[in-house]
Structure 1
């Protein structure tokens, strides 16, 4: 029987990519995500995650956005995001799933915000569902017939969290739908073009329409939204990998390192080299650009 209001520690599961199938659902502990003790620098995530903090106090950096964590904090993280947790006694249950896990189910994982602080009956309900999912994932590990059970348990959990978030933000508007379409196209094409005109042509909108949608949702222009997505990817690679700076710039559409350096410095406020040198320390606030409102998503880092 699952008791609401408390969460038993999750059985530790191998969360490494080699042990993970694209359709699997696994659960484990927060420490399983870190390549080494101490989270000396951010790691790039390789799967979708729900992280429910069960004990301790600390903070998480999700795509360089500092998030206070305490029991009842729920984080929604996505593949490719950079993450680091700080706090010696921060414990959490991690639910992890692959790209094909929810195929065919009427649920949108992107409806769950990156950060929620649960309380009261909502917290009890989520704890109950996460606990049961963790128990069943461990009990039926490797049993093909149990996949349907775990898939539907995860879908119910995500639907509950989506409904909780919808109660806290205004109903979608036409501008928000347009903005989401732009984010999708930017996610596919930011390595190849930063021109608003290119995305407008792909989507069948005018540049003015895209800019109006971005301003309505985030307070920033379409060009700023696109450039921030490129800068975010640069920060991820600089902080979580040892790839040479010039190669990172080339991958992001900058044949000349000097052009990449000027772009990064303009967007982030420090040079790529200085940003990388500071990656083993908690990111200073001055190095984080202002974020959109809590209900405004950004490409591949929706909050």
Structure 2
């Protein structure tokens, strides 16, 4: 009996590195070391990654969006995101795969949450600072340096500089309020909790009770920071996962509905149509048509 894996293939950090916290490669080396079947097909990351382009042009796919690559492009891939490279390497540059914990400086780190969130939200920066390539060169040198007792700490600080110099400011530009974007620990805690429980389709009251806040307090945190209510943030996360599973998994629409906490497929269809003006089937067909065009 042949068992077909219907889920989106997942890649762990120890699949790409013997170091469980960070891996650094040139794009050319990355292609040589990885099976192109998995590089060129959608797969879900269980870690974060940065891809910096130094030469060449091409495309990269993050979730169901296509981004054009050119020298100076920086891609940021968050944990749980689905992406894939082109099947044939047409660009040069660097790939850094890392755990979010690697960036943590210890103690009460005021930037830990905002750095992790920024990687997930930004995804593509087309116009980067002219000296950003120099930071990647420094990380490359330190990563391959032998016999250094301070190697991890030096790389950690270079990575934090890269985050705070380029990625976090781009994320701040997406927020309503720059100071909130950096300092609102409650909002990052809310987002983290939604990530844990969204598939259960919790009520705002459930989240508020778990976090020790009133519904009014929680909604104020969400709206001050993102301009969206807690209910909208929950729906956004459910919708994103529905799109990922429809686009990249082999699960039936009924299976996806049950995974995301809907009692019946018709309930998810109503939810999906309300947010996208498409049925789940229409969205899946559209994604597969676009994939066929890219392959053809």
TM-score (norm 1): 0.70
Q: Does 1:221 align with 2:222?
A: no
Aligned partner (choices 253, 266, 272) of residue 274 of structure 2: 266
Partner Cα distance (1:146, 1:251) in 2: 47
Partner Cα distance (1:263, 1:164) in 2: 36
The offset of 1:187, in angstroms, is: 0.9
Aligned to 2:8: none
Aligned partner (choices 146, 149, 152) of residue 151 of structure 2: 149
Q: Which runs of 5+ in 1 are unaligned?
A: 1-13, 284-303
Q: CA RMSD in A?
A: 3.5
The offset of 1:199, in angstroms, is: 0.8
Q: Does 1:69 align with 2:69?
A: yes
Determine if contact 1:44/1:240 at 8 Å carries over to the other structure. no
Moved more, 246-255 or 266-275: 266-275
Aligned partner (choices 149, 158, 162) of residue 160 of structure 1: 162
Partner Cα distance (1:45, 1:260) in 2: 25
Determine if contact 1:193/1:253 at 8 Å carries over to the other structure. yes
Partner Cα distance (2:243, 2:220) in 1: 27
Determine if contact 2:61/2:83 at 8 Å carries over to the other structure. yes
Aligned to 2:97: 96
Aligned partner (choices 119, 124, 128) of residue 137 of structure 2: 128
Q: Does 1:54 align with 2:54?
A: yes
The offset of 1:253, in angstroms, is: 0.7
Q: 1:99 to 1:118 in 2, by over 3 A?
A: closer
Q: 1:209 to 1:173 in 2, by over 3 A?
A: farther
Q: 1:219 to 1:104 in 2, by over 3 A?
A: closer
Moved more, 78-87 or 190-199: 78-87
Determine if contact 2:139/2:158 at 8 Å carries over to the other structure. no
Q: 1:245 to 1:129 in 2, by over 3 A?
A: farther
Q: How does 1:178-257 map to 2 (within 5 A)?
A: 178-257=186-265
Determine if contact 2:128/2:166 at 8 Å carries over to the other structure. no
Partner Cα distance (1:15, 1:25) in 2: 12
Q: How does 1:107-126 map to 2 (within 5 A)?
A: 108=112, 109-110=115-116, 112-113=118-119, 114=122, 115-116=124-125, 117-121=127-131, 123-126=132-135
Flag the structure with higher helix content.
2
Partner Cα distance (1:131, 1:277) in 2: 42
- Paired residues, number: 261
Determine if contact 2:48/2:79 at 8 Å carries over to the other structure. yes
Moved more, 79-88 or 207-216: 79-88
The offset of 1:164, in angstroms, is: 3.8
Q: 1:200 to 1:124 in 2, by over 3 A?
A: same
Instruction: With a CA cutoff of 8 Å and minimum separation of 6, indicate the structure with the bigger relative contact order.
Output: 1
TM-score (norm 2): 0.72
**Per-residue deviation, residues 90-117 of structure 1 (Å, max 9, x unmatched):** 4442111246645664673416543333
